Structure 1
Amino acid sequence: EGDGMRASIVLARTAPALAAGAGREAVTADDVRQAALLALPHRRRRNPFDAPGLDEDKLDQTLDEAGGDRGQDDDDPDPGPDGGGDGGGGGGGVPPQADGEDRTPPRADGGADDTPSQAPEGAPDAPGRPAGGEQRPVAAAEPFRTKTLSVPGLGEGAAGRRSRARTEHGRTTGSRRPEGALTKLHLAATVRAAAPHQRARGRVGRGLVVRRDDLRQATREGREGNLVLFVVDASGSMAARQRMSAVKGAVLSLLLDAYQRRDKVGLVTFRGREAEVALPPTSSVDAAAARLESLPTGGRTPLAAGLLKAHDVLRVERLRDPSRRPLLVVVTDGRATGGPEPVALAGRAGRLHRSEGTASVVVDCETGYVRLGLAGELARELGGTAVTLDELRADAIAGLVKDVTAAGRAA
């Protein structure tokens, strides 16, 4: 945004003179303002979670400082509601702190407090809280740089920066017989394949007799983008000790990582009696962040419903894009309280994902001195691994995150 503002200043200072020199009507500061409103909003974004838009008060102040005498122009004779004589942007009527005011869009809960009141599950509804035990959305904690979660094995999906894959570009790792047209010859492998047959082929002189069966295609290894499907527990237990703010911060961190690694993302949430697809798989990471920000909490924990809903989403996506491998990220404390036999149902749903080879990781959100370890049990059912919120940070000393199904292969 700073570069765009400087461009506006230059244009505000030079455009009138240029237009006058060309014999045309001078460009006014209002023209520059309209151009800035059209050109700058998308340029101010520094990451996909920044809201589009432009601070119009700051733009007006910048133009006032650049023009100097804009307050005395004939087209702006009104000194303002305060009646002050200072027409510039420096001294009149606007408190100094307004220039640095946070002008990001209001939070989904509509409040200024990052810690909205929360009550235990089943408590009477407090004033201002939605009925039915649902609690208002809370703001996410500050995102952080996460450890790399990757899908094990070698894929062949779209180019990206997450998991190992066979690609057209990258380092040469080996050779194979070509399937169809030969696109990249592996010279050394071709020579090795042809060399043992030279006498039988009647070789004379220095030349090497090479036939089609000797040709070898070079195999290259790079990185692919994956489908990262988040399954987020939004039940009442996740709101305990204001845990949901930290959980949202962790998911936002993983979303930012997915954006940088060119992944597709999807969001499934579960609470109360059912699960829902909050966002079908998409390349729009900022859309997932917006849905997460407005996510309310409350009710029981239908963990099995969330896992089964995720299974349906992945089944459809395998038909649409079979080459893109999925990574299932379940964000929960592991409790299951929704429906009959909730723990057994959750275990069966987890084994369903494991039987299909879905790579998975469980982000354990359980806090406090007494921990039940239910997220670890869920990770074993999924055939993946569990990491805590602290271990998810890239700068954490303990809990190095390896390939998400390393635990499943060991089992």
Structure 2
Amino acid sequence: MSTPFPFTAVVGQDDLRLALLLNAVSPAVGGVLVRGEKGTAKSTAVRALSALLPAVAVVPGCRFSCDPGSPDPACPDGPHESAAAAERPSRMVELPVGASEDRLVGALDIERALAEGVKAFEPGLLADAHRGILYVDEVNLLHDHLVDLLLDAAAMGASYVEREGVSVRHAARFLLVGTMNPEEGELRPQLLDRFGLTVEVAASREPDQRVEVVRRRLAYDDDPAGFATRWAGEEAAVRQRVVAARELLPSVRLGDGALRQIAATCAAFEVDGMRADIVMARTATALAAWAGRTDVLAEDVRQAALLALPHRRRRNPFDAPGLDEDKLDETLEEFAGEDDTDPDPDSDPDGGGPGGGGGQPAPDSGPRGGDTAARPEAGEDGAPQASGGAEQSPVRAAEPFRTKVLSVPGLGEGAAGRRSRARAEHGRTIGSRRPRGTLTKLHLAATVQAAAPHQRARGRSGPGLVVRRDDLRQAVREGREGNLVLFVVDASGSMAARQRMGAVKGAVLSLLLDAYQRRDKVGLVTFRGRDAQVALPPTSSVDAAAARLESLPTGGRTPLAAGLLKAHEVLRVERLRDPARRALVVVVTDGRATGGPEPVALAARAARLFAAEGIASVVVDCESGPVRLGLAGQLAGELGGTAVTLGELRADAIAGLVKDVRGRAA
């Protein structure tokens, strides 16, 4: 086993180290979600934490790590009676992004359960992580149903495995740590709320600190064991401090004044539900224990708010995480209680240990990128500018709205999501088949039907059903998949009327929000002037797409064919990377094509490529004014898709749109 990088050797990242240590002191805090760009020591710090946790006393031979002092009475390996205790190091178990449900929660031997009535259970990663750390790298890329199972187990402290009336339960209490790069997509707000704390990490911009990071990493790579030995003293000191804080934790007093501050802070920042209040209370108590105190102070409440609230305030992916620290300080001062005393100004409440403080920077309260131009008054009816006009500064998007569902026709087999119909692990049962490999979802009726004709030949003599491997049937289920929604946006001069471009951006922003909620990947191609460009390659980060859209300039001619050909190339490359993910192309244009020889004919030929390959498409018609040429509708016909106006995109205006999309593409 390789020597892990020492926790105390991690340079900077005070909030990250503090959040991890607080969970080591009090696992009831609820885990940590670490958000940040790649290369910021997220995984390094998490993997190093396990070396700081105390050893675990277990029942010898128990696959579920039962505590000999209070064994789980429902343990599948039990009952444990007066067993001698054994000791092992605290574990850190990693959950791979591509793990199956059976790998996470464990699996029952269905064949033995049906034929013999035996609960033959193979434990999963949740059992391995009991009384240790469960680490999920790239948790935002984990399938939603696995995240739900994971967080339910973390909340209840137990894992339940049920298959056709046969069930197994075992304890599963662990420190849950997830890391993610927001550029690769966000977690749903409901899932964000299930993580106790969150921290934002970024690489330091200080040259001296970056030099120290490189120096330590090179020294570790050259001699991991020697490097760890040099940091052994600091590691032992922090380990001892964790043990002392755990012992002190039950004695920490959370006074009424601190509780009032916690409740007032959660109310002031309008967080949903009561989980935030509970997490803040547990975090503030752990902070006091970590500092060696038995009273929770206002500074503990403030630090708890900075760790527990930012991710609970996000209503959609376009909201910037973080807290207004001035508002936080005003709330704490207003509700300061009599039992909150100031610490000795000469003391160090954080004890000088790793992660000893430091709040998160205040969020940028200014407008989003690209929102620097004031919105001038538009001309009457938003008449378009000349096709060859000069480039105009970015226009602010109109307010987003709820859109109707645009889906890809047919039945896919892509990644789990919420847009189009697909064969899936979860959903309604539509049939059965013979299992390929391990049986995961038993179709009981089909299994009994397959086994029933052979009972006499198999010598059945009692009430039990004689079931063999060939009789087992896997349930075939239909659920929903996520798609690649590729936006092809016309940014030419004919679209440059500011009022209209603001409405166009608002419509695309609305579709992006819908894509986020439906777990899609998104991409953005724009065309203007002489060519087209990929403004954003396919990604799960819809907020990145929104930022590119917001700063999009307009002006110049309309190379519609170039935009379509660029989109076709993006789809070709993406099919090689992810062949199971189907695409939905959303072309946002007024249908005009200018520039170069025969621009209209060239655009039509480019559009027919999409129709020939059966790629689902929708054209959002942005044409305005009293005289309409219907060019967007003609383009939709060449694409084999359908055309809708900006107004028809609203959820209450296009009830028949999905049928139209399916009918055109069928």
- TM-score (normalizing by structure 1): 0.76
Aligned residue number for residue 642 of structure 2: 385
Distance 1:263 1:43, change over 3 A: same
Aligned to 1:301: 558
Equivalent position amino acid for 1:121 in 2: A
The residue correspondences of 1:271-310 to structure 2 (distance < 5 A) are: 271-310=528-567
**Does the 8 A contact of 1:383 with 1:405 survive in 2?**
no
Question: Counterparts of 1:248 and 1:45 in 2: how far apart (Å)?
Answer: 22
**Gap change, CA 1:406 and 1:31, over 3 Å in 2:** same
Worse-matched range after superposition: 203-212 or 47-56: 203-212
Distance 2:505 2:428 in 1: 37
Aligned 1:106-255 pairs, distance under 5 A: 106=368, 108-113=370-375, 115=377, 120-121=385-386, 133-190=390-447, 216-240=473-497, 242-255=499-512
Deviates more, 1:151-160 or 1:167-176: 167-176
Secondary structure in 2 matching 1:169: coil
175-184 or 352-361, which deviates more = 175-184
Instruction: Give aligned pairs, total.
Output: 367
Shift of 1:59: 2.9
Contact 2:378 2:497 in 1 (8 A): no
Deviation at 1:358, TM superposition (A): 1.0
Identify the residue that residue 102 of structure 2 maps to in structure 1: none
Q: Which moved more, 1:258-267 or 1:183-192?
A: 183-192
Cα drift, residue 367 of structure 1: 1.7
Q: Distance in 2 between matches of 1:316 and 1:122?
A: 32
Change over 3 Å in CA distance of 1:196–1:280 after alignment to 2: same
- How far residue 405 of structure 1 moved from its aligned partner, in angstroms, is 4.0
| Alpha-carbon separation, structure 2, partners of 1:234 and 1:406 | 30
Give me the whole-angstrom Cα distance separating, in 1, the residues matched to 2:658 and 2:625: 22
Is residue 334 of structure 2 the alignment partner of residue 65 of structure 1?
A: yes
Question: In 2, Cα distance between the equivalents of 1:299 and 1:241?
Answer: 14
Once the two structures are TM-superposed, the CA of residue 400 in structure 1 deviates from its matched residue by 3.8
Q: Deviations over 1:194-231 (max 9, x none)?
A: 778899x7998899887766654321000111111111
Q: Please state how far the C-alpha of 1:331 moved relative to its aligned partner.
A: 0.8
**Judging changes above 3 Å, is the alpha-carbon distance between structure 1 residues 195 and 31 closer, same or farther for their aligned structure 2 residues?**
closer
TM superposition shift of 1:176: 3.2
Query: What does residue 317 of structure 1 align with?
Result: 574
- Tell whether the 8 Å contact from 1:169 to 1:222 is kept in structure 2 after alignment: yes
Using the alignment, how far apart are the partners of 2:581 and 2:391 within structure 1? Answer: 36
Distance 1:46 1:209, change over 3 A: closer
Shift of 1:67: 3.9
Code of the aligned partner of 2:561 = A
Give, as a single letter, the amino acid of the residue that structure 2 aligns with 1:138.
Answer: V
Alignment match, 2:313: 44
Residues in 1 aligned to 2:498 and 2:539: alpha-carbon distance in whole angstroms: 32
**1:299 Cα offset (Å):** 0.7
Residues 362-403 of structure 1 show CA distances to partners (whole Å, capped at 9, x for unaligned) of 111112221111111111111111111111100126754436
Task: Give the letter aligned to residue 400 of structure 2.
Answer: P
Unaligned runs of 5+ in 1: 76-101, 125-132
DSSP-derived class of the 1:111 partner: coil
8 Å CA contact 1:226–1:324 kept in 2: the answer is yes
> Are 1:198 and 1:208, in contact at CA under 8 Å, matched by a contact in 2?
yes
Change in 2 beyond 3 A, CA 1:165/1:286? same
Question: How far 1:281 sits from its partner (Å)?
Answer: 0.7
Q: Which consecutive unaligned segments of at least 5 residues does structure 2 have? A: 1-264, 271-275, 345-363
User: Is the CA contact 2:590–2:631 (under 8 Å) kept in the aligned structure 1?
Assistant: yes
Report the alpha carbon displacement of residue 60 of structure 1 after superposing the two structures with TM: 3.6
Q: Does the residue aligned with 2:426 lie in a helix, a strand or coil?
A: strand
Q: In 2, are the aligned partners of 1:151 and 1:327 still within 8 Å (CA)?
A: yes
Asked whether the 8 Å contact 2:385–2:495 carries over to 1, the reply is no
Counterpart Cα distance in 1 of 2:567 and 2:578: 16
Write the distance in 1 (CA, Å) between the matches of 2:458 and 2:522: 59
Inter-CA distance 290–205: structure 2 relative to 1 (3 Å threshold)? same
Tell me which moved more, 106-115 or 312-321: 106-115
Change (3 A) 1:105 1:182: same
2:653 counterpart of 1:396? yes
Give CA-to-partner distance per residue, 1:258-287, whole Å, 9 cap, x none. Answer: 100111111111111111111111111111
In structure 1, distance between residues paired with 2:459 and 2:660: 50
Matches within 5 A, 1:86-97: none
- Distance in 1 between residues matched to 2:465 and 2:298, nearest whole Å: 76
Q: Secondary structure at the match of 1:174?
A: strand
Aligned counterparts, 1:335-350, within 5 A: 335-350=592-607
In structure 2, what is the Cα distance between the partners aligned to 1:210 and 1:11?
53
Residues 213-260 of structure 1 show CA distances to partners (whole Å, capped at 9, x for unaligned) of 665432100011111111111111112362110011110100100100
Report what 1:90 is aligned to: none
Which of residues 594, 597, 620 in structure 2 aligns to 1:363? 620
- What is the alpha-carbon distance in structure 2 between the residues aligned to residue 220 and residue 11 of structure 1? 41
State the alpha-carbon separation in 2 of the partners of residues 23 and 318 from structure 1: 57
237 and 181 in structure 1: CA distance in 2 versus 1, 3 angstrom threshold: same
Shift of 1:26: 8.6
Q: Kindly tell me: are residues 192 and 66 of structure 1, through their superposed partners in 2, closer, same or farther at Cα, counting changes over 3 Å?
A: closer
- Distance verdict in 2 for CA 1:41–1:183, change over 3 Å: closer
Conserved 8 A contact 2:373-2:393: no
Tell me, in whole angstroms, the C-alpha distance in 2 between the residues paired with 1:37 and 1:209.
60
Query: In structure 2, how many angstroms separate the alpha carbons of the residues matched to 1:311 and 1:237?
Result: 23
Distance 2:630 2:387 in 1: 24
**Per-residue CA shift, 1:10-64, capped at 9, x if unaligned?**
989xx89x979x9859987677656645554443221111123433432343234
2:365 to 103, 114, 118: 103
Question: Would the alpha carbon gap of residues 271 and 185 (structure 1) be closer, same or farther in structure 2, given more than 3 Å must change?
Answer: same
**Quick one: which amino acid aligns to residue 385 of structure 2?**
P
- Once the two structures are superposed, residues 278-333 of structure 1 have per-residue CA deviations (whole angstroms, 9 ceiling, x without a partner) of 11111111111111111111111111111111111111111111111111111111
Distance, in Å, in 2 between the alignment partners of 1:23 and 1:182 is 52
| 1:377 alignment partner, SS class | helix
How far, CA to CA, are the matches of 1:294 and 1:68 in structure 2?
47
Give the share of equivalent positions with the same residue, in percent: 79
Give, in angstroms, the shift of residue 146 of structure 1.
Answer: 0.3
| Pairwise CA distance, 1:178 | 3.9
Which residue identity does 1:110 align to in structure 2? T
